[in-house]
Amino acid sequence: MMPIMWLPFLLLSAAAEAQQGTSLKPGSPPLTPKTIAYVPSPSGRYAFGFYEQGNGTYAVGIFLAGLPQKTVVWTANRDGPPLPADINLVFTTDGRLVLQPAQGGQETLVINNAPEGASSASMLNSGNFVLNGSANQILWQSFDHPTDTLLPTQNLINGTVLSSSLSKSNQTTGKFLLLMQEDGVLAMYPVGTPYTKDYGYWSSVDWPSKLTAVEGWILTLNGSGSLNLFNGAGTGTDTQNLASGNSTKPLYRLTIDPDGILRLYSHDGTKTGNWTVEWSMPDNGCAPKGLCGLNEYCVLNPDVDCKCLPGFAPVDEGDWGSGCKRNFTVEWCSASSKYTMEEESNTAWENDTYSLPISSTKANCRDACLQDCNCEAALFKDDKCTKLRLPLRFGRKDTSGSIAFIKVGTSSTLPKEGKKFLIIGISLVVFAFIVLAISGFGIYKNHVRMSKNGYIELGEDVAPKSFTYAQLEVATLWFNKELGRGASGIVYEGEMSNGQTKEIVAVKMLDTSMLAERADRHFRTEMTIDSSLPNEEVSLKEWANCCFDRGELGKLVNNEEVDKRELEKMVKLGLWCASDEFPLRPPMQKVLRILDGIENIPASASLISFSD
């Protein structure tokens, strides 16, 4: 056990080690991926600097430089964009680590939360990268900000996490995290879910038991590979050993891997050696919730694999965690003869229920879902039937004895070859037509406006010609001869020449005060939709939106019998695609995934509104 009173000594030890480490100083030569790529620790085991990600791009982090694999144990700004080969890492004179493009441009911070004013930066033998102040005090250290790995002498304290990487070669934040909770429980969750029992897939104690809810709980890994939980504020009784390492190995690391499994690795430190797993949790490779995508479930045969639900096909054949989509056409509330119920035993998902579990038999549960238009799947367990909606997530095989029923189409509802592409083609044509119609109307309105302002001069035999005020003054002899008065101004006689003959003309000078009132009234009139206009003169987009807001979508199809839920989805999707704010429109990839039933239209989708 390591009481919390020891922590100041750890900091002093790190500060003393910083004096021995290879350091960067303000004004030191910059690090570059192709020349001086990194700063090693005194032992040469660890290094801080650039490492290659693949495809000619780089990232900044800490890695094991003494091993051929150069295992990455920490990454700076891990969710930032990949770095090009012509980038410089500079320690500025004001004590900041920044990235500067070689060709010039805006610099960016290497470590976003690091303070300014550092006098040196050191890579220590422990694998800790530190920024030191003028008195050699530690201003910032990587051990306080772990990414996916814990190293010996590094602690995971209350409220901090290890987040998995997206893959072994991509250190972007992945799907899973390890959390040291405030109550002393060490637990793993899918990223983006609540920290509750329903979403957790492993904990250091049995759910929902908890250790004493006091501050000071720490997960620590020592140099001999022993992994322990202890209360640093306690007397030594609150300690839990999770794993005992092999003291003959010099290298250890604890990593939450991209597959959501927490593993303790050891290495003999030789160039021919490999990493060995000393301990891992959970034992079941399918336990991490979210390992497989939507409408998939995880199986072990013997390696981890993701399978689609019956009646579904992979979204991406090359990525078994990308999720699955229907391979049949859904027809709203059609006769049950067009569907059948496929059975999957010992399979569980996160339940998206719309009905309370009711007592039932297996056959009645299957038939109840088959006859229910809203039911897309059903779960039968412990003589209870629960109806579910798609998409299903967190799917996995278990031993609970549950039976899942999935509603799938019969052969008559399977799509013909090319039907998907026909739907996509029609959608694109309709969308293009709407865009052209809106553009044409905008051009027409602009043409009319320019004509009214005198910017367009049409042929003499077709429309009136525009004249300047000075020309009209000359033609009327400075508005000398009045012919009459009207509601909006005075009419004067004038004389104009068309190049061959002279013509008598009447020129009306408008009263500006009356004009403003009439123009405002005319503008309000134009902005009001006249219900007496023919249907073809009313905006189709506006009409569809009004029908959607009022729940009168039947008018769009002349009240014909159609799949109402599918119609509502298509109209909502169309209005989203036709949003007046172009950046708010969904990308085509998301549109296709919604059409395939893989994703739902988010509640935050920006729809057109004419209700204001």
Q: Show binding-site residues for ATP.
A: 508
Partner residues linked to 189 by β-bridges = 177
- Structure tokens belonging to residue 29: 């030569």
- Structure tokens belonging to residue 71: 């295992």
Q: Any residues with CB less than 8 A from the CB of 46 and at least 6 apart, and which? A: 40, 62, 63, 64, 65, 66, 73, 123, 124, 125, 126, 127
486 within 8 A of 508, measured Cβ to Cβ = yes
Q: Provide the edge-to-edge strand list for the sheet that holds 46-54.
A: 38-40, 46-54, 57-64, 72-75
Collapsing DSSP states into helix, strand and coil, what is residue 465? coil
The residue among 388, 380, 325, 323 whose CA lies nearest residue 351 is 388
66 within 8 A of 270, measured Cβ to Cβ = no
Q: Residue 221's CB: how many other CB atoms inside 10 A?
A: 24
Q: How far apart are CA 177 and CA 192, in angstroms?
A: 9
Q: Any residues with CB less than 8 A from the CB of 328 and at least 6 apart, and which? A: 311, 408, 409, 413, 414, 415
558 within 8 A of 568, measured Cβ to Cβ = no
Please state whether beta strands 296-300 and 393-397 pair in parallel, antiparallel, or not at all (unpaired): parallel
- How far the first Cα of the chain sits from its last, in Å, is 66
Tokens 């004067």: give the residue.
492
Q: How many CA atoms lie within 13 A of 543 on its CB side?
A: 14
141 within 8 A of 133, measured Cβ to Cβ = no
Single-letter residue type at 174: G
Tokens 């739902």: give the residue.
600
- Structure tokens belonging to residue 342: 């496929």
The per-residue DSSP string of 201-264 comes to: -EESS-TT------S-EEEEE-TTS-EEEEETTS-S-SEEEEE---TT-SEEEEEE-TTS-EEE
Q: How far apart are CA 425 and CA 41, in angstroms?
A: 59
- Structure tokens belonging to residue 228: 């322990």
- Structure tokens belonging to residue 443: 């051009």
Q: How far apart are CA 416 and CA 438, in angstroms?
A: 34
Which spans in 80-198 are helix H? none
Please state whether beta strands 97-101 and 87-91 pair in parallel, antiparallel, or not at all (unpaired): antiparallel
